[in-house]
A and B are shown apart, each in its own frame.
Chain A
Amino acid sequence: MRTLSRFRLMEAALVLGVAAFAVAQASAAELIRIVSPYQTTTLDPMRSASAGNIETYGQLYARLLQRSPTTGALEPGLAESWEQSDDGGTYTFHLRDAQFSDGSPITAADVVFSLERIRTDKQSAYPAPLGSVETITAVDMKTVSVKLKSAFAPFLGNLEIWNMGIVSKVDVQKQGAEKAFSSVPVTSGPYAVKKWKPNETLVLQPNAHYWRKGYPKSDAIIELKEVASAETRMAMLKAGEAEVMRDVPWPQINDLKSADNIDMQLEPSTTIYMTLLNHKREPFSNMKARQAAAYAIDVKALTKAITQGYAQPANTTLPDSLGFHDKHHPGIPFDPTKARQLLAESGMEGREVKILATSDAADQQLALLLQAQWQAIGLKPVIVNVDSGAWWDATGKGEYDASATWWYNETPDPDLAVRWALCGSCGSNSFNTFYSNPKVDELVEQGAKESIPQKRSQIYQEIQRITVEEVSQIPLYYAPNAVAYSKRLEGIKLTPSLQWTLEDTTIIK
C-alpha cells in the first residue's frame, strides 16, 4: 500500500510539472538579447579597454562626435558644431542642448571633467587618444575649447572613440567614481541601465532624455548576456533565446548561413591577426631568425585552413581597412628554402621557441600550425597553454617567444594603431613584442603632425615597409566580425569600431 501511494504522489508531481511547463511559455515584452563571450566588468568609460566594456560604453555614453552607422563619416554628436583655429592648434566645440538620463543638463563642465579624467586620471585605461592635448577649458556653459600641443591630424576622429563618453560631473563627484558606476550610472547615450547583474547580464532601457529625438528607434529592452561557450550561444540563437550572436566561430558560419530566420553577417572590421614575436630574447631578438620564421609560414594556406576562406591573408603590419594601408605591398612570401637558409645564417637553428596559446579554438589551431611550420625549418617550438590572465602577464614581462593573437583599431586613422603595435617609445612596447626602431618611432610622430594626406600616406607606407622587412610581427590575416542576427532585426550591425548600432535598430513585427 505504501509503495502504491508513493507512486501516486510521483505521478501527481509529474502531471503538475508538465502543466507548469506549458504555462511558462508566455512571452514577455520586446527584447533584443545579445550573447557575447566578452564581459562587461565596469560601467565607467575611463576604466577599461577590454572588448566587452568597449561595446557597452557606446550604448551608455554620448560623445562630442559620432560616426554615421551607414557611411562611417564623422557627424555632430553632443557637439552641434565646431571650428578649428587657423594654425590648427585649437578646436572650439559648441554643445547642443542635451540632458543626462536623470534630466540634468549636459554642460561644458561635464565635457571638461570627462575628457580630463580620461587624459590625466592615473587609473585611465587608455589616455593615448588625447595624448596631443595641452589644455581643455570651458569657455562658457555651452562651449569647450581644446588646445593641442601642436596640430594633430586625427584629433576629431579620436574624440569619437569608445572611452570618450561624457559622464555627469555632479554625480561622479558626489558619489565618488567607484559608487557612481557600480550599478545604475547617470548616462548620456541612447540607453540607461535598467539592471546590472555582473558576470551574467546587463539590462538596458532607452534613455528618455537622450538628445537624439526619436532614438532609440525601438523601445525594446536590451540584454547584453555573457555566454562563454560558442556552442551555447549558437543554441540560444537557434532556439530563439537570443537575437544577436557575437563571435561566431569560423566552422559554424556555413551552418548559420543555411539556417532559416538567421542573418549571418561578416562585417568589416579593423581586426588583424598576427604573431607576436619577442624581440627581447633569443631566438627572435635576431632579425634573420624573425625573417626565417616569417618565410616559413604559408599565410594564404593558414588563413584558408583556419577561417574557411572568410578572412583575407594579411600583407602588412597594419589592418587593411585603415587609412594609408599599403594595398600594393607584396607581403612576405612563403619560402621554406629561404627560411632554412636565413635560420642557418642567424645561428638560431634548433632553438626552443615558446609559443603561448589561450584556450580559444582559433588560438589553438594557430599555435599548432605555427609549431608545425617552424619545426619544418629547424626550430624547436613548444606550445604552452595559458588563460588570458597568464597570457598578459607573460607577454607583458617578455617571458615568451611567440604567440598568435589579434588587435583592432578604434578609428580608421592609423595613428593609434602604429602607436599601439609598432612604436617602441609610445608606452605599449609595440604590443609587448619589445620591437623598437627609433626611425619608426620618429615616423609615428611625424605622421601624427602631418596634415597633408599625400605626405601622411608616404609616412605610413614607410612604417609598413620597415616593420614588414624587419618582421616586427608576422601579419596573418584580416578577419571580419562574424555576427549572426535574428532576421526580425533591422538596421543593426557591429561597426568596425566595435559599437552596436542599437539606437538605429527596429524589430519587424
Chain B
Amino acid sequence: MSIPLLIIRRTPQLCAVLVGISIVTFLLLHLAPGDPARLLAGGRASAETIAAIRSQYGLDQPLWSQYLTYFVNLLGGDIGQSLRFQRPVSELISQFMWPTLFFTGYVVMLAVPSTVVLAIASARRPGGATDQVIRIVGVIGLTIPVFWLGIMMSRFFGVALGWFPVSGYGEGFTEHLHHLFLPALSTTIWLVPVLTQSLRAALIEKMTADFVTAARAQGASEREVFWRTTLPNSVLPTLNLLGVMVSFLIGGAIIVETVYEIPGLGSLMVGALLGRDYYVVQGLTLVFAFSTVLITLIVDLLSALIDPRIRF
C-alpha cells in the first residue's frame, strides 16, 4: 500500500481519537473542583466579581453548550483563548512547543547511538563481562529518579563547576544545545537502558535465527551478516518502543522541564492545570494526541522501509 493511502486510512482514525480525547478532557477539567475565575482574580475578589468573570467567559453556561461552542470553534480551526492570559491558545502552544521538540530531538540523538553501541556490545557475548557491566549500569540508570538525578547534576555541573546553565533554553542553536544538555542527559540516562534491553534481547534472538544461519552459509562475512541481516531484523521492536517513548517525552517532559526551568509544553501544561486554564489544557491534550498518532505513523513508515514484508 502506498503512503498517501496509508495516511488517508489513518485520518478518520485520527479524527475519532481527537474527538474522544477532547470530550474526556473537557469533562475531567470541568468536573474537577477549582475555578479559573477565582484563581485569576485572587482570594480577595468577592463572589459577585467571580460571577461576572465567569459570565464573561461563558463559564456559567451549561456544560453541553460550552462543549458545543468549543467544538464548533474547533471545526473552524480555532482552539480557543487562554483564560489566564487572554491570548490565543495556538500562540501559546507554538511558543512553548520548540523547546520541547528540540529537547526531544536532542534526547533521541543522544539515546539512539548509545543504545545501538551498548546493545551490540552486550549482545556480542551474552552473559560476558561487558554484558554484565552494561546491564548493572543500566539498572542503576533506570532506577535513579529523573528529578533527583536532575537536581544533582544541576548542582554539580551547573552550580559547583559552572559548566552548564541550570535553567532556560537560551537563544540560537548552540545555546539550545548548551542549555538543554543536562536535561537531555538526565533523560537519556533513564531512556537508554530501556531501549538497550529491548534491542539486546532482539539481537540475541535473531543471531540464531534461520535466516542468519542461511546468510552465513552463503558465505557472508560476520560483519556483513550483522549489519545486513541481524541488525535490520532486530531493530523493529526497539523502533516501536522508541516511538512510544518519544510520544511520552513530548507530553511528559514535565519533571525535567520543572527541574531545569525549560519553557516547554510540560511547564505550560502544569501552569494551565494549576490555573484551571481550560482551553490551554484542552489544546495541549489535542497536540499530545496528535503527535502520538503522527509518531506512530512515522514509526510504521520507517518499519516498512526497514522491513519490506510489513503491510498495513
Contacts and interface: CB of A to CB of B under 8 A. Distances in A.
B121 interface: no
A236 B167 CA distance: 7
Contacts of A229: 258-259, 261
B44 A125 contact: yes
B270 to A, nearest CB: 7
Interface stretch (A192-200, A296-304, A487-495, A497-505): A192-200
A125 B52 contact: no
B33 A125 contact: no
Contacts of A21: 163-164, 174, 177-178, 181
Contacts of A20: 173-174, 177-178
Contact of B39 (A181, A231, A389): A389
Given A48-B41, A123-B49, A393-B34, A41 B154 contact: no
B174 A23 contact: yes
Given A241-B165, A241-B166, A392-B39, A198 B85 contact: yes
A48 B42 contact: yes
A231 B273 CA distance: 21
Given A125-B45, A229-B259, A392-B34, A235 B39 contact: no
Interface string A395-415: 010000000000100000000
B105 interface: no
B239 to A, nearest CB: 18
Interface in B118-173: 151, 154-155, 158-159, 162-168, 170, 173
B33 A394 contact: yes
Given A199-B271, A232-B154, A428-B46, 9 more contacts: A50-B43, A53-B42, A122-B48, A198-B84, A231-B151, A232-B258, A235-B158, A389-B274, A392-B43
Contacts of B87: 182-183, 198
Interface of A: 2, 10, 17, 20-21, 23-24, 39, 41-42, 47-50, 53, 122-128, 178-179, 181-183, 197-201, 225-229, 231-232, 235-236, 238-239, 241-242, 386-390, 392-394, 396, 407, 420, 427-428, 431
Contacts of B36: 389
B40 A238 contact: no
19 contacts: A21-B177, A50-B40, A50-B41, A50-B42, A50-B43, A126-B42, A127-B46, A199-B96, A201-B263, A232-B258, A235-B154, A235-B166, A236-B167, A239-B159, A241-B168, A387-B274, A389-B33, A420-B44, A431-B43
B43 A49 contact: yes
B112 to A, nearest CB: 11
Contacts, number: 166
Contacts of B227: 2
Contact of A392 (B35, B173, B178): B35
B261 A178 contact: no
Contacts of A242: 167
B43 A227 contact: no
A247 to B, nearest CB: 15
Contacts of B84: 41-42, 198
A126 B45 contact: yes
B206 interface: no
Given A182-B85, A232-B167, A389-B33, A17 B261 contact: no
A171 B155 CA distance: 47
B260 interface: yes
Interface in B72-130: 82, 84-87, 92, 95-96, 113
Interface of B: 32-36, 38-49, 52-53, 56, 82, 84-87, 92, 95-96, 113, 151, 154-155, 158-159, 162-168, 170, 173-175, 177-178, 181, 227, 258-261, 263, 267-268, 270-276
Contacts of B154: 232, 235
B85 A41 contact: yes
B166 A239 contact: yes
B86 A393 contact: no
Contacts of A227: 167, 261
A6 to B, nearest CB: 8
Given A48-B40, A389-B34, A392-B34, A236 B46 contact: no
A123 B44 contact: no
B38 A396 contact: yes
Given A21-B178, A198-B84, A228 B258 contact: yes
B274 A49 contact: no
Contact of B165 (A23, A231, A239): A239
Contacts of A128: 44
B92 A198 contact: yes
Given A10-B113, A17-B177, A389-B274, A49 B165 contact: no
Given A53-B42, A236-B167, A239-B162, A387 B92 contact: no
Contacts of B53: 123
Nearest to A432: B43
Nearest to B53: A123
Nearest to A48: B42
Contacts of A232: 154, 166-167, 258-261
